[in-house]
Each structure stands twice: as structure tokens, then as C-alpha cells.
Amino acid sequence: MNKQNERVVITGMGVVAPNGNGLEDFEQALRNGVSGIKHHAHLAESNFACQVGGIPQHIDELKHDYLTDEALMAMNEAMIFGAIAAIDCWRDAGLAEPGDEPDWDTGAIIGTGISGLDTIGQKIIPLTDAGKVKRLGSTMVEQVMASASSANIGGLLALGGQVTTNSSACTTGTEAIANGYHSIQTGRVKRMLVGGTEGASKYSWAGFDAMRVLARGYNDNPEQASRPMSASAVGFVPGSGAGLLMLESLSSAQARGARIYAEVIGVDVNCGGQRNGGSTTFPNPTGVQRCIQTALKHAGIKGTEVDLINGHLTATMADPYEVANWQQALACDPADFPKINSTKSLIGHALGAAGGLECIASVLQLSHGFVHGSLNCEDLHPDLQPYADSVVHKTQASDAQILAKASFGFGDVNACAIFKKFNP
């Protein structure tokens, strides 16, 4: 086979999410419309205007099933989330338990947005300012370096291929998938563990609260706070967790008899250059449309062949613009627009982990024949009324063959992945 044309499939997934840990619980939460958004006292104590968020539950108990006490001493929250998801993904892919030798055929690209601030805020700054540097111990660097999670997982799984991290704000997780795809398609490795992880530190969320872009007014009704596509949306709900996928060449997957969830048939990553309406916090519409169109071209399909869209859809003023960009990119009329949903309505916006979590939601829907509903958008934004028939409110059965997923991040950066139901 020409290594430039290796087909790339998904053979494993691992998830730690606010509404479910593990694939089975996460899928059931998606199907049943279970929100993972809750009120958190520590945000109220810090006088946040937004006191709700999506934080994975029961991790203190769960982590001991995966990690030794010694290992946990050198890990912060994002590293723990990522490690659990990585081990689950590895096992889900049916790979042998790591041994004494590196797996030279497998690498990882595991991104994050702002993780490590919990360690900095709780330990490094106070102890350093108090003149107690010696009390920091020997594991601080490995907890705050940008590649903390990827390095940790590389050791846990004995990975021998490229092991690195990426960080492109809210585009991070989907970008990791695009980068891993290219590594496999060009024959550099057989497998890449890709996605993102993000902790739930108040230090990571404080800046967004100060910007007034987080949801306010729902502290007493947390499950109603995340309102993508809604006329009453007042900002995004901060979230956290980890979503990791095992990308693998089709030839490798078939040779070892692996179960295949779906195929990745097209990707693209670009930047709008913060021009023509784009800025650090708002996307250049041309950049968004070009990203989607290039992914479609890479996949060899037309926009009209897309059956489902899992949107970025953050519950900000950008939602109507995003849907309009999708319509332009797909070159379809509102009446012919694909079904569209927002996973963030259930889990909040997990920043650097958002793309990984939402791509797992996308693949579960495509491979298991359903499309999950979006919560809290019964009062659809007026600009989205032409697309009302496409907005999924309640989970329904689906025979979709192609799903498009995109993420858009601070810095006017974009990523798009096209998934296809697997056909040998």
C-alpha cells in the first residue's frame, strides 16, 4: 500500500466526562440527556459570578483502580483525567498490557488548554512566595510543564513513537486528531493516541469569569445553564475531563483483528489570521468555511453528503454565526441543512479537552446509530429559526453515514474532522 494513502480508523476510546466516566456511562448519558453541570461551592467561595461547571465525579475513588499511590503523588487533576482515559482507550483498543520494551509503533498527541494552574496556584506560588522552595518536592516541573499529560501517559503505556502535546485553545482536542491522522496516513506510525485533557481548576476558569463570557444567572439551576443555540444563552459553562481516541491504520487494525468504530476520512486545521472580522476571541468566517471545505475536499465528498454536525456551539453570541458558516461551507439551503447538536449542552465547555470529548460523542453516535439531543435550546435563537427542523432536541435513531465535527478557538484557530461509518 502507498503509505501516503493509509486509511485511518478508530479502534479505541477512553472518556472521563462530567456526566459519565467510561464509554458505557458516557453513551447512556448522551442518549438520556443527562447533564453533568452542577453548582460548585468552591466557585461561590471565590466570588465567581458563574458558580456552575462540569467536573467529572467520583475521581478520588476511581483513580486508585488505575494508578498507584506513588504515581498519584506526581500527578495533578488533568494528568489523572488523562491517565484514566488513556488506559481505558488502550484497553478498549484491545492492545496488550505495556511491557518492559517500548511500543515503537504507537505514539501520542495529547493536548491541553490551561492545565497545571492548579499546581501553580495551590503549591508553587504560595510556597515560593513564603520562601519555602525546598518544600515543593521533586515533582513540580513534571506537573506544570506543557507536556505533563503526554509525558506521563507515554510512560504509563510505554509509547515509542512521537509523544507530544499541542495547545490551540478550544481547538486543541480536534487539532490533535488531525495531527495524529497525518502521522498515520504518511506511514510514520501504526497508531496514535490523540485528544485532550483539562483540569477543573478555579485558576483556569477565573479569567473567563472576569471576561464575562461564562453563564450567569443559573447558579440555582445548573442543569439549565449550558444553552447552545438558545435565545436566552448568556455564556458558556466551564467544563473539564479527558477524551482520547486510538487512531490506527486500517492495515494494522485488520491485521490484529481489532474492532473498528469509524473511519476518519478528512481533516483540516487553519487560522483566520485575525482579519476580516476575526480576532483573538472571534473567528474570521472565511477561515471557518475554508477549514470545513478543505476537510470535505480531503475526504472526497460534497457538503450535501454530510448527515450530522456536532458543532462547537458554546452558548455565546457566536452560535448563530457558526451555523451560518456551516451552511455556507456545505453549500446547502437551510431546508436541506444536516441534523446538528451540541454536546456542550450536556457537559459544558471543556476547553482543551472539548474536541476530544465531543469527537468521542460523535463517533459513538455514528457507530451506534443515534443522535443525541441538545438541552436548553427550546427557545431557539431567532437567527436559527430557518434551521429549526435540523436542531435535535431529543435523542433519536439515526442511519447517518457521515458526521462532521469542528472546533474553533481563541486565536482565530479552526479544526475540522470528518468521520464515516466504517465500511471495509
- Phi and psi based region of residue 210 (left: phi greater than 0; alpha: psi -120 to 50; beta: remaining): alpha
CA angle 210, 215, 220 (to 5 degrees): 115
Mean pLDDT of 14-34: 98
Residue type, 375: L
User: Residue 1 has what pLDDT?
Assistant: 35
Grid coordinates of 14: 477512553
**Second CATH level (architecture) for the domain 268-421:** 3-Layer(aba) Sandwich (3.40)
Mean pLDDT of 170-179: 98
User: Residue 4 has what pLDDT?
Assistant: 64
Report which of 409, 359, 420, 422 is spatially closest to residue 170, judged by C-alpha positions. Answer: 409
User: Residue 423 has what pLDDT?
Assistant: 86
Mean pLDDT of 106-119: 96
Under CATH, what is the fold of the domain 8-262? Peroxisomal Thiolase; Chain A, domain 1 (3.40.47)
CA angle 301, 307, 309 (to 5 degrees): 100
Q: How far apart are CA 181 and CA 163, in angstroms?
A: 14
Report which of 264, 394, 370, 381 is spatially closest to residue 308, judged by C-alpha positions. Answer: 370
pLDDT score of 133 more than 50: yes
Report which of 109, 82, 111, 92 is spatially closest to residue 183, judged by C-alpha positions. Answer: 109
Q: How far apart are CA 241 and CA 402, in angstroms?
A: 26
> What long-range pairs does 29-33 form, CB within 8 A, spacing at least 24?
29/346, 30/343, 30/346, 30/361, 30/364, 30/365, 30/372, 30/395, 31/370, 31/372, 31/395, 32/395, 33/346, 33/372, 33/373, 33/375, 33/394, 33/395
Task: Please report, for residues 28, 224, 309, 344, 400, the alpha-carbon distance to residue 33 in angstroms, rounded to integers and kept in the order given.
Answer: 8, 12, 18, 11, 20
268-421 and 8-262 share a CATH fold = yes
Mean pLDDT of 137-156: 96
Q: Report pTM.
A: 0.97
Contact between 325 and 285 (Cβ < 8 Å): yes
User: Residue 2 has what pLDDT?
Assistant: 42
DSSP 411: T
DSSP 170: B
Residue type, 43: L
Q: Find how far residue 389's CA is from the centre of its chain.
A: 26
pLDDT score of 328 more than 90: yes
With residue 333 as reference, give the H or E element that holds it: none
Report which of 403, 351, 349 is spatially closest to residue 372, judged by C-alpha positions. Answer: 403
Mean pLDDT of 159-167: 98
pLDDT score of 358 more than 90: yes
Residues 6+ apart with CB under 8 A from 66: 83, 84, 87
Phi, psi at 274, each rounded to 5°: 55, 45
Residue ranges covered by each domain of the chain: 8-262, 268-421
Model confidence over 370-414: pLDDT tens digits? 999 999 999 999 999 999 999 999 999 999 999 999 999 999 999
Report which of 417, 176, 167 is spatially closest to residue 310, judged by C-alpha positions. Answer: 417
Model confidence over 35-55: pLDDT tens digits? 999 999 999 999 999 999 999
Report which of 231, 224, 238, 226 is spatially closest to residue 345, judged by C-alpha positions. Answer: 226
Pairing status of strand 339-341 against strand 308-310: parallel
Exposed, middle or buried by CB within 10 Å (0-12, 13-18, 19+), for 289?
Answer: buried
